[in-house]
Structure formats: structure tokens, C-alpha cells
Amino acid sequence: MTDAPTKGLVLVIEDERPIADLVRLYLSRDGFGVHVEHDGAAGLSAARRLRPVACIVDIALPGLEGTEIVRRLRADGDWTPVILLTARDDEVDRILGLELGADDYVTKPFSPRELVTRVRALLRRAAGPPDGERVKTLGPVRLDPARREATVDGRPLSLTPTEFDLLGHLVARPGRVFTREELLAGVWGYASAAGTRTVDVHVAQVRAKLGGAASLIRTVRGIGYTADA
């Protein structure tokens, strides 16, 4: 069943029906349209067919795991924002999901209100800044926030919304050292010691995509990260 979206359609892929129903209820109350699938293969098909504004994907799904859904979407060049739902003991799969291109994760049991807040924050990032924000450059890296385009030495970079904003946050303040908690607050919109591993994985992904320019992002041991040419 698909509700008429007002803020856009969110796809929820969750095999535990009480959780799926709860997520649907809270998203609908916030003005989102919601489409629910209960197995991985149907969820992937829905993502390709419906083109939602965001996907909420459980990792442990029948038929096709959530991490594989993320991998296939990104392989298709589909950068729809994805939030993973994970169990507390799913750390390996959670990190794998982030490495494959998921934007965020929420650990079960979770607050449905927090999940909706995460969705709104992720969509704000994906929408980009107001028109007129200046282009940012650092060394060979160029970011155009209005167009959501990033290049290194003129080569286009395929970045998720979160990767783009993380790189932009660092590039806009060259030389400043950010703690992981500051990056969580500034980029993801929340701060939690439990989420700092998310920052590390996304920094590693951005570095991998920067290739020869990866050294622009420097780790400050015991503190966090900085960007400097």
C-alpha cells in the first residue's frame, strides 16, 4: 500500500511488521508518503520502480539482505539517501552497509521520532544549501553546493549526500580540526559517542574516492579530522 506523499515518498523495507507499521505511522504523521515492503527482493524492485526520496532498510531481510540492496542501488548509480536499521550485534554488517554507501543507521530498539528526525535531516542535506552558496575549493578539490557537484582535478566524484556534506564541511574550514562529535552534529545533525564510527567509515570512503588527493583529509590522532592543502 502506498500513501499519497506530501513531503515525498519514503520506502520502508522491514520484515518485522509491527516495526514497519510503527515507522509508517510516524512518517505519515510527519507528512511523508510511505510504501512498505517486507522482503529484500521486493524492496529493491520498489526502490527502482518508485524512486523514493529516501529508503529505510533493515539489514536482516529475507531474500536479499539490506547491505546487498545498498550495494545494488549504488552500482546502478542510484544515490537515494539510505538509512539502515540494525540490531545491536550487527556492527560488522552496519559498517559494511556504510562502506557500500548507506548514509546513516539507527540501532534497534529505536525511537520512531528520532528516526523521522534523521530522515528529515538527511533530506535537508540531499536537497543542498540555498541558492547562492559559494563554490568551495581546496587544492584540486572543487565543490559546488548549489549544483551538488564535486570534482578532483576536474574529474567528477560520485558522492552520497552525506559524503558530499562531510567533504564540504571540512573543505569550507581548511586547517580547523573537528572532533568526530562535532562532525556528527554538523553533518548528520546529531551528536552521539555511539555514532563516531559512522564518521570514520565515511571519511575512509571519501578518501578512497578522492584518490591521489586523499591526503587533503588528515587524521589528528586522538581528536578527529581536518582538511588542508
Give the tens place of pLDDT for each residue, 174-190.
999 999 989 988 888 77
Q: How far apart are CA 140 and CA 157, in angstroms?
A: 12
Using 50, 70 and 90 to split pLDDT, how confident is the model at 147?
A: confident
> Do 14 and 105 share a domain, yes or no?
yes
Reply yes or no on whether the pLDDT at 64 is more than 90: yes
Instruction: Tell me which residue of 68, 57, 65, 128 sits closest to 100, measured CA to CA.
Output: 68
Q: Are strands 178-179 and 217-220 parallel, antiparallel or unpaired?
A: unpaired
User: How many beta carbons lie within 10 A of that of residue 45, not counting itself?
Assistant: 12
> Do 122 and 173 share a domain, yes or no?
no
User: How many beta carbons lie within 10 A of that of residue 198, not counting itself?
Assistant: 23
Rounded mean pLDDT of 91-107?
86
> Do 121 and 172 share a domain, yes or no?
no
> Do 86 and 156 share a domain, yes or no?
no
CA-to-CA dists, residue 101 to 28, 61, 74, 154, angstroms: 26, 18, 7, 23
> Do 123 and 142 share a domain, yes or no?
no
Query: Can you give the residue range of the structural domain that contains 214?
Result: 136-227
> Do 109 and 147 share a domain, yes or no?
no
> Do 79 and 173 share a domain, yes or no?
no
User: Domain total for the chain?
Assistant: 2
Reply yes or no on whether the pLDDT at 140 is more than 60: yes
Q: Spell out where 95-222 has E strands.
A: 104-107, 136-138, 141-144, 149-152, 155-156, 178-179, 217-220
Residue 4 lies inside a defined structural domain of this protein = no
Q: How far apart are CA 103 and CA 170, in angstroms?
A: 17
Using 50, 70 and 90 to split pLDDT, how confident is the model at 11?
A: very high
Whether the Cβ atoms of residue 120 and residue 54 lie closer than 8 Å to each other = no
Whether the Cβ atoms of residue 166 and residue 217 lie closer than 8 Å to each other = no
Percent of the chain with pLDDT over 90: 62
Reply yes or no on whether the pLDDT at 1 is more than 60: no
